[in-house]
Amino acid sequence: MSKKHPINAGYRRSSVTSPYGLTRETQQALARMVAAARAQGVRIVVRSGYRSYSLQAQILASKIREYGSESLARRYNAAPGRSEHQTGLAVDLWDGVTWGVGVRNTKTGKWLWANAWRYGFILRYPNGKEKITGYAFEPWHYRYIGARAKDFGANSNQTLEEYLGLA
C-alpha cells in the first residue's frame, strides 16, 4: 500500500496484537529487534503503530491545520487508505528524545538503519527518494516485510517500490 496503491476504509489487518495494534508477526519481530538493540545499549521507543482509517483522517486534517499547507502536510502524512500504519506492518521508531529528521543522527536512528533488516524491517522512506515513494525522508518510519528485508541489508536507500519493480 502506498499513495499510488491505497486500501479502503473496510480493510482489517490480521492477528492484531497489543500494545501497538501490529500484526502478530510484526510485533514479534519488533520485540526481538528492541531486545537486540537494548542488549547493545540502544533504546528504541515506538511512537506510533497501527492507525485506523478514521484516525489517519484526523491526523492528516490536524497536520494540514498545523502546517497551514495541505501539500506540505502530505509530504509527511498519508491520507486515509494510503498509510502503511493501517496495515499493522509499520511503526514509527525513535529514542524517546529526538524526533523528526534528527532521528537519523541519534544512536537509535543509526542502529536501526544498520540493523533493522536483520529483524525483517526496512526504512520505508529513504533520503532522496521522495519522487519514488511520494513522501519526504522519514528516518523513523520502518515497515515490516519479513525475510525479504535481507535483500535490502544495512544502510540501504533502496525503496520498496524499487525492490518490487514499481519505480
Cell of 6: 491505497
Cell of 125: 522512506
Inter-CA distances, 83 with 51, 61, 70, 90, 142, Å? 8, 14, 16, 9, 12
Annotated catalytic residue 162: no
Catalytic residue selected from 25, 66, 138, 162: 138
Query: How many other C-beta atoms are found inside a 10 Å radius of the C-beta of residue 42?
Result: 18
Going by the DSSP 8-state scheme, the letter that residue 135 receives in this structure is: S
Contacts 24+ apart (CB under 8 A), 5-11: 6/79, 6/81, 6/82, 7/81, 7/86, 7/87, 8/81, 9/53, 9/54, 9/80, 9/81, 11/53, 11/81, 11/86, 11/87
List active site positions.
138
